[in-house]
Amino acid sequence: MKSSFDAGPLPSLCGAFDSASTQGRKILLVEPRHAVPTNLPGLEHGEVTCAPLAAVDADLLVRLCPDVVLAPLMTPSFDMLDLTRLLWQLDFPGQVRALTPAIPDPHLVCSEIMAACPGLDFDLIVVKPD
């Protein structure tokens, strides 16, 4: 899979989540900028739903009950801080992961998100170039 950025295939996502397997996981993918393949490494046994940011609300979260929300760190219309603030306000209890190419200071990004959304389970998934 190509990420929203000109990076290479997505690494296995199993290591990015708390459990060793995505078996039975429900994943909400917000605003993917490319077609979502059916064989995302680490997600082949999960249930993936794609949605635009405008559709993310309390009703969607109740209906889908995602364990994980994935989204690009930045898009032309929003960045991860916008999404994490929304999820935090909605008391989303699951994991939130931003897909990003390597960035100079990933800890700074995580610190900013965690300061704005205390208690939110947030981290980055770095998509490495080929």
What CATH number does the domain containing 92 carry?
3.40.50.2300
Mean of the pLDDT values across residues 7-28? Answer: 54
The answer as to whether 55 is a domain residue is yes
Q: How many domains does the chain have?
A: 1
Mean of the pLDDT values across residues 51-73? Answer: 95
The answer as to whether 20 is a domain residue is yes
Looking at per-residue pLDDT, the higher value among 93 and 39 belongs to: 93
Domain region containing 43: 14-126
Question: Angle at CA 100, nearest 5°, toward 21 and 39?
Answer: 40
Instruction: Give dist(CA 123, CA 112) in Å, integer.
Output: 11
The answer as to whether 24 is a domain residue is yes
The answer as to whether 96 is a domain residue is yes
pLDDT at 12 over 80: no
3 state SS of 98: strand
The answer as to whether 108 is a domain residue is yes
Q: Residue 91: what pLDDT?
A: 97
pTM over 0.85: no
Asked if residues 2 and 34 have their Cβ atoms less than 8 Å apart, the reply is: yes
